[in-house]
Amino acid sequence: MTTTASDIRRGLAGVVVDTTEISTVIEATNSLTYRGYPVQDLAARCSFEEVAYLLWHGELPTTAQLAEFRAQERALRPLDRTTAELLARVPETCHPMDVLRTAVSFFGAEDPTEGDDSPEANRAKSLALLAKLPVVVAADQRRRRGLGPITPDTSLGYAENFFHMCFGTVPEPEVVRCFEISLILYAEHSFNASTFTARVVTSTLSDLYSAVTAAIGALKGPLHGGANEAVMHMLNEIRDPQRAAEWLEEALTTKRKIMGFGHRVYKHGDSRVPIMQEATDRLIARSGDPGTTRLAALHAALRDAMISRKGIHPNLDYPAGLAYHLMGFDIPAFTPIFVMSRITGWTAHITEQLAHNALIRPLASYTGVEQRVVPVAS
Ligand SMILES: CC(=O)SCCNC(=O)CCNC(=O)[C@H](O)C(C)(C)COP(=O)(O)OP(=O)(O)OC[C@H]1O[C@@H](n2cnc3c(N)ncnc32)[C@H](O)[C@@H]1OP(=O)(O)O
Ligand SMILES: O=C([O-])CC(=O)C(=O)O
């Protein structure tokens, strides 16, 4: 088959590779829907658990269904001793995403039903991952602070329990709600790089744990989920709001990518940013700390400079990175928190891929040396 340069879509940009019923970005209104519901409405009215249920089941839960779902999630939280001991031995020099990737891989190795890819079995595995991943993230953040793990509290919801396991306390409801909004917004985004990775692995009929392990690897990169951490590193590097425009100029001259800006799908601003920014602004307003005010001013100054200089808008990682810092999480925990949310979208896509599977295997246009003769040994 001959291909011309115009046939090639580097990065699969603009290529529609399959259908999905899970979510879509509606370009005309710059909005995002999960199973038909605008994400703004879900963020305003629902808990993260309801959104997880919606993504997996296609409908919002009834009161009874939600109660059962919550009870199941809470019961599945504890890690077994072997897993806890294994994760405590992973070197602290590695990134916490490596700990999470190792954890999911180990959950698979431990699970006797690993090879059962029926919808029921995969739903059970997805729920167990949803319940256990926050326990891994919280324990890892604490051990890096020289502290022991805190047992999950089954009387607390998903978001509240995560704060409890990280800090031993649950903050004001407004802070918990801001965190929950971030989880809702991060939960699903169609064929993004990590979800597509999960679908590629699933398309070979490999197991769910392998697909999620691979997706974690894809999310870690700074062009994808890793950008929420990179945003805070960048703000720490700039420090002074007065320096934002000058710093940006230098960075653009050296062809640096400005973290938390730009998007493959949204070219006029990420539909999730206004909701996340409003929630972050509420955190800033309640802080009253001069350091926070200065950081917020820097965040706004860099955003304004980037829009006016390049016309490139922030993506969700820009306000989320700042919000997680203001909530007290350590920077290396930001992308693992993204995983705690996106596990819902990934596993919904794994189920969808299996239901209508086709092996994902694109073509490449060969540009290497032409066929030649192997030299005969002298
Ligand atoms: C939850 C998420 O995963 S959201 C994405 C998080 N990632 C980031 O924030 C990392 C920074 N952003 C980027 O690197 C990019 O915007 C991406 C990877 C997200 C999207 O990339 P693409 O769709 O391939 O955009 P593309 O690279 O075609 O950008 C078009 C132009 O805008 C520039 N551009 C896009 N984003 C940025 C940015 N953040 N900083 C500087 N320039 C940028 C590109 O350099 C390119 O310029 P050129 O035409 O002069 O070469
Ligand atoms: O859709 C993308 O390419 C990246 C993104 O915003 C996400 O995964 O949430």
Give distance in angstroms: CA of 240 to centre of ligand 1: 24
Nearest to 225 by CA among 266, 256, 195, 181: 195
The pLDDT assigned to 25 comes to 96
Tell me the two tokens of residue 241: 């709001």
**Displacement of CA 119 from its chain's centroid (Å):** 23
Domain 227-327 sits in CATH at 1.10.230.10
Half-sphere exposure for 213 (CA within 13 Å, toward CB): 16
SS (H, E, C) the chain: CCCCHHHCCHHHCCCCCCCCCCEEEEHHHCEEEECCEEHHHHHHHCCHHHHHHHHHHCCCCCHHHHHHHHHHHHHCCCCCHHHHHHHHHCCCCCCHHHHHHHHHHHHHHHCCCCCCCCHHHHHHHHHHHHHHHHHHHHHHHHHHCCCCCCCCCCCCCHHHHHHHHHHCCCCCHHHHHHHHHHHHHHCCCCCCHHHHHHHHHHHCCCCHHHHHHHHHHHHHCCCCCCHHHHHHHHHHHHCCHHHHHHHHHHHHHCCCCCCCECCCCCCCCCCCHHHHHHHHHHHHHHHCCHHHHHHHHHHHHHHHHHHHHHCCCECCHHHHHHHHHHCCCCHHHHHHHHHHHHHHHHHHHHHHHHHCCCCCCCCCCCCCCCCCCCCCCC
pTM (two decimals) = 0.97
The pLDDT assigned to 28 comes to 83
Q: For ligand 2, is residue 189 a contact (CB within 6 Å)?
A: yes
Q: Which of 189, 253, 312 to mutate to test the pocket of ligand 1 (most atoms within 8 A of CB)?
A: 312
Please identify, by atom number, the ligand 2 atom nearest to the C-alpha of residue 317. 6
Domain boundaries, the chain: 23-220+341-356, 227-327
CATH of 23-220+341-356, one of 1.10.580.10, 2.60.450.10, 3.30.70.360, 1.10.3720.10: 1.10.580.10
The pLDDT assigned to 30 comes to 87
The partner residues of 319 in beta bridges, in order of sequence, read: none
Q: Which of 189, 264, 306 to mutate to test the pocket of ligand 1 (most atoms within 8 A of CB)?
A: 264
CB 352 within 8 A of CB 21: yes
For ligand 2, atom 6, the nearest C-alpha belongs to: 189
For ligand 2, atom 7, the nearest C-alpha belongs to: 189
Q: Which residues are catalytic?
A: 263, 317
Q: What is the mean pLDDT of each run of 10 residues along the chain (378 residues)?
A: 80 97 92 97 98 98 98 98 96 98 98 95 98 98 98 98 98 98 98 98 98 98 98 98 98 98 95 98 95 98 98 98 98 98 98 98 96 92
The pLDDT assigned to 29 comes to 85
Q: For ligand 2, is residue 265 a contact (CB within 6 Å)?
A: yes
The pLDDT assigned to 4 comes to 79
For ligand 2, atom 9, the nearest C-alpha belongs to: 189
Q: For ligand 1, is residue 270 a contact (CB within 6 Å)?
A: no
